[in-house]
A and B are shown apart, each in its own frame.
Chain A
Amino acid sequence: MRIFICLMAIVIATTSWAEEITLSTPAEGSVSTAEGLSAWDRVYEVASHPRCANCHVGPSEQPMWSGPSYGKTRPHGMNIHAGESRIGAETMLCSTCHAYREGTGNDLPHMAPQVAMNWQLAPVEAHWFGQSSEEICNQLRDPDRNGGRTMDEIAEHLNHDLILHWAWSPGGGREPAPYSLQEHVNDILIWGVAGFPCANDQ
Chain B
Amino acid sequence: MQLTVNGQSHTVDVEDDMPLLWVLRDELGITGVKYGCGIAQCGACTVHMDGVAVRSCQVSAGSADGADVVTVEGLGTPDAMHAVQQAWVNHQVAQCGYCQSGQIMQAASLLDNNPDPSDTDIDMVMSGNLCRCGTYPRIRAAIKTAAATLKET
Q: Chain A residues in contact with chain B, CB under 8 A?
A: 78-81, 90-93, 95-102, 105-106, 108, 110-112, 114
Partner of A101, one of B55, B63, B128: B63
Query: What residues of chain A lie closer than 8 Å to B141, measured between beta carbons?
Result: none
Instruction: A79-B124, A97-B58, A106-B58 are known; give 11 further A-B pairs, CB within 8 A.
Output: A79-B128, A90-B113, A91-B124, A92-B106, A96-B52, A96-B128, A99-B60, A99-B63, A100-B63, A108-B39, A112-B40
A99 cross-chain contacts in B, Cβ below 8 A: 54-55, 58-60, 63
Residue of A nearest to B63 (CB): A100
Cβ–Cβ contact A97 & B62, under 8 A: no
Bound Cα distance from A105 to B60, whole angstroms: 10
Judge whether A111 and B125 touch: CB under 8 Å: no
* A114, closest chain B residue (CB): B58
Interface residues of B (CB under 8 A from A): 16-17, 39-41, 46, 52-55, 58-60, 62-63, 106, 113, 121, 123-125, 127-128
In the bound assembly, the distance between CA atoms of A114 and B53 in angstroms comes to 17
Q: Which residues of B contact A114 (CB under 8 A)?
A: 58
In the A-B complex, the 7 residue pairs with the closest CB atoms: A79-B127, A97-B40, A78-B128, A112-B40, A91-B124, A111-B39, A99-B58
Q: Chain A's interface: helix, strand, loop or mixed, by majority?
A: loop
Contact flag A81-B63 (CB < 8 Å), given A106-B58, A112-B39: no
B115 CB → nearest A CB, Å = 14
Cross-chain pairs A/B with CB under 8 angstroms, 26 sampled: A79-B123, A79-B128, A80-B124, A80-B127, A80-B128, A90-B113, A91-B121, A91-B124, A92-B53, A92-B106, A93-B53, A95-B54, A96-B52, A97-B128, A98-B58, A99-B60, A99-B63, A101-B63, A102-B16, A105-B60, A106-B58, A110-B41, A111-B40, A112-B55, A112-B58, A114-B58
